[in-house]
């Protein structure tokens, strides 16, 4: 089996094999899964793939400080640089000083900026290799002045305090589509508490807004960073809610809700991907009580009306500001 992802192909030519390799924030690649002992990732899909192959898999938020992890560590540089800086600081906090770390990534993903970032953090570095439009650097952990926790920020909007982290959708600002969605919900929300699912919760703005109005909220996201951000947002506002890592409905088998509300994803990294939003719409009827509603917001150009028509046989446009549309569909039969 050969590596498929370009950054993994660069790793593949480094050593015959790794004795105890832990990979951090990697792409899903069968060669890499086979080579590695474990993964630390914020991406539920990646964690699932490593686990399914009998490997250790953790988010950075469920790794206890005293758990052994990695003498050979490779960080895959993320497209969000601030998230890369967060991973470097986090690794320096988790691993003994002097632990070697390799950093690999694609040129189009910004790996060439890594030496400057390492200089700024006071981490020595060495360039190891360059091929397949990727580069590989080596460094080691050092004692840093500032902690990874400084990456968490809060901002105020709609009478709520939102917790934000690099790599979480929006990071510090409210999406225009989300605002339109909340405006249109304001007039249609019943007074009695609803059991609501916020699908793709991000920093938790929709969940907190609904919980603030007395509704019983479950929030899910495929990103562990988003799950942590949503938990922090609810806590910062003294609100309650259940927050889970889930690939669309994967963690919610057999559960039904009165409403499913979402500003659904249509990107994976920089590529357009309708997969999760299509699954959200097609599987929503199974997860709604009779009379329950799916309410989503989307850029006007996205093909959701067709998907809604197929899944629900009918839908309404609840709001339209030319750039975004809010759609609602009701589950009419069991
Ligand atoms: C457009 S953002 C909306 C975030 C937040 N609800 C808001 O309105 O600001 C979509 C969210 O869906 C999440 N997401 C992407 N793929 C997903 C999947 N397969 N299952 C669950 N959530 C997913 C992303 O991590 C992101 O937080």
Which of 176, 220, 222 is the best mutation target for the ligand 1 pocket, counting ligand atoms within 8 Å of the beta carbon and taking the most?
222
Predicted local distance difference test score (pLDDT) of residue 19? 79
The reply to whether 152-330 shares the fold of 6-148 is yes
Predicted local distance difference test score (pLDDT) of residue 71? 79
Predicted local distance difference test score (pLDDT) of residue 120? 96
Q: With a 6 A CB cut-off, is 247 part of the ligand 1 pocket?
A: yes
User: What spacing in Å lies between the alpha carbon of 301 and ligand 1's midpoint?
Assistant: 18
Q: With a 6 A CB cut-off, is 45 part of the ligand 1 pocket?
A: no
Predicted local distance difference test score (pLDDT) of residue 171? 73
Q: With a 6 A CB cut-off, is 167 part of the ligand 1 pocket?
A: no
Which of 155, 245, 265, 274 is the best mutation target for the ligand 1 pocket, counting ligand atoms within 8 Å of the beta carbon and taking the most?
265
Alpha carbons 331 and 326: distance in angstroms, whole number? 17
User: What spacing in Å lies between the alpha carbon of 263 and ligand 1's midpoint?
Assistant: 7
- CB distance 290 to 274 below 8 Å: no
> Which residues are registered as beta bridge partners of 131?
134
Instruction: Count the Cβ atoms, other than its own, within 10 Å of residue 322.
Output: 6
Predicted local distance difference test score (pLDDT) of residue 188? 86
Instruction: Count the Cβ atoms, other than its own, within 10 Å of residue 242.
Output: 13
Q: Tell how strand 288-299 and strand 242-245 pair up.
A: unpaired
Which of 200, 270, 283, 326 is the best mutation target for the ligand 1 pocket, counting ligand atoms within 8 Å of the beta carbon and taking the most?
200
- CB distance 103 to 114 below 8 Å: yes
**Phi and psi torsions of 70, nearest 5°:** 65, 115
**Phi and psi torsions of 215, nearest 5°:** -90, 155
Q: Which residues of 51-60 are buried (b: 16+ CB within 10 A; e: fewer)?
A: eeeebebbbb
Could you give the angle at the alpha carbon of 309 between the alpha carbons of 306 and 315, nearest 5°?
Answer: 115
Architecture of domain 152-330: 3-Layer(aba) Sandwich (3.40)
Residue 216: enclosing H or E segment and its boundaries? strand 216-221
User: What spacing in Å lies between the alpha carbon of 266 and ligand 1's midpoint?
Assistant: 9
Q: Tell how strand 100-106 and strand 72-76 pair up.
A: parallel
For the chain, 334 residues long, give each residue's pLDDT as a single digit of tens.
899 999 999 999 987 667 789 999 999 999 999 999 999 999 999 999 999 999 999 999 986 656 667 779 999 999 999 999 999 999 999 999 999 999 999 999 999 999 999 999 999 999 999 999 999 999 999 999 889 999 999 999 999 999 999 999 987 788 999 999 999 999 888 889 999 999 999 999 999 999 999 999 999 999 999 999 999 999 999 999 999 999 999 999 999 999 999 999 876 555 666 689 999 999 999 999 999 999 999 988 888 999 999 999 999 999 999 999 999 999 997 5
The residue extents of the domains of the chain are: 6-148, 152-330
Query: For residue 139, what are its two tokens?
Result: 């460094």
Q: With a 6 A CB cut-off, is 278 part of the ligand 1 pocket?
A: no
Domain 6-148 fold is Rossmann fold (3.40.50)
User: What spacing in Å lies between the alpha carbon of 185 and ligand 1's midpoint?
Assistant: 19
Which of 44, 163, 169 is the best mutation target for the ligand 1 pocket, counting ligand atoms within 8 Å of the beta carbon and taking the most?
169
Predicted local distance difference test score (pLDDT) of residue 305? 93
Query: In the block, which residue shows the tokens 């953790």?
Result: 58
Alpha carbons 231 and 243: distance in angstroms, whole number? 7
User: What spacing in Å lies between the alpha carbon of 203 and ligand 1's midpoint?
Assistant: 9
User: What spacing in Å lies between the alpha carbon of 154 and ligand 1's midpoint?
Assistant: 19
């Amino acid at each position: 089996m050969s590596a498929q992802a370009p950054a993994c192909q660069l790793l593949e030519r480094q050593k015959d094999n790794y004795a105890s390799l832990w990979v951090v924030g990697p792409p899903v690649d069968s060669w890499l899964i086979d080579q590695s002992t474990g993964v630390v990732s914020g991406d539920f899909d990646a964690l699932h793939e490593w686990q399914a192959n009998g490997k250790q898999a953790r988010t950075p938020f469920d790794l206890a400080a005293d758990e052994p992890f990695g003498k050979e560590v490779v960080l895959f540089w993320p497209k969000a640089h601030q998230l890369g800086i967060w991973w470097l600081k986090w690794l320096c906090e988790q691993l003994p000083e002097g632990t070697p770390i390799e950093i690999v990534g694609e040129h189009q993903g910004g790996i060439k900026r890594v030496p400057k970032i390492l200089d700024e953090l006071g981490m020595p570095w060495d360039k190891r290799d360059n091929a397949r439009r990727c580069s590989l650097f080596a460094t080691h952990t050092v004692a840093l002045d500032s902690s990874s926790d400084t990456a968490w920020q809060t901002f105020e909007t709609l009478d709520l305090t939102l917790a934000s982290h690099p790599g979480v959708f929006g990071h510090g600002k409210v999406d225009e589509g989300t605002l339109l969605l909340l405006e249109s919900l304001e007039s249609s929300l019943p007074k009695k508490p609803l059991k609501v699912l916020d699908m793709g919760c991000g920093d938790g703005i929709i969940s907190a807004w609904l919980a603030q109005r007395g509704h019983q909220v479950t929030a899910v996201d495929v990103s562990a960073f988003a799950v942590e951000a949503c938990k922090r947002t609810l806590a910062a506002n003294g609100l309650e809610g259940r927050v889970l890592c889930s690939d669309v409905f994967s963690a919610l088998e057999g559960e039904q809700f009165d409403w499913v509300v979402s500003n659904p994803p249509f990107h994976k990294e920089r590529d357009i991907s309708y997969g999760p939003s299509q699954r959200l719409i097609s599987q929503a009827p199974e997860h709604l009580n009779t009379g329950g509603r799916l309410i989503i917001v989307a850029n006007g150009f996205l093909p959701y009306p067709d998907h809604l028509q197929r899944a629900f046989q009918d839908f309404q446009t609840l709001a339209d500001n030319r750039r975004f549309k809010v759609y609602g569909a009701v589950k009419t039969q069991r």
